[in-house]
Amino acid sequence: MSKIDKYVAERSKNNPDFAKLVEQENINLEVAVKVRDLRESMGMSQREFADLIGKPQSTIARIENGSMNASTKILSEIAQATNQRLTIQFKPTF
């Protein structure tokens, strides 16, 4: 276990809000990587991908940089528009 993992585990024991924040950030990162990988595998720019999904390019950018908590609704829209299945495997840090 790395020092950061130990720190997160210890702080999470004492602060449930911190644990929830860490969990959400891990989910955001996993979603960001999956969506970016999907878009790049389709050879599309963020703008082209956004047009396909029917969302603004800024939404795709926020998902891909992990600053947006992507809802299951938007992930479903992405999956339907691309005819793909998005699978996210979240692994708790602590």
- Please check whether residue 78 is in contact with residue 53, taking contact to mean a CB–CB distance below 8 angstroms: yes
CATH no. of 3-82 = 1.10.260.40
Tell me the per-residue pLDDT of 37-58, one tens digit each, with 9 for 90 and over: 999 999 999 999 999 999 999 9
Q: Read off the pLDDT band of 87 (50, 70, 90).
A: confident
Q: Where are the domains of the chain?
A: 3-82
> In degrees, to the nearest 5, what angle opens at C-alpha 1 toward C-alphas 16 and 35?
70
CA distances from 93 to 17, 23, 28, 90 (A): 14, 7, 14, 9
* Whole-prediction pTM: 0.81
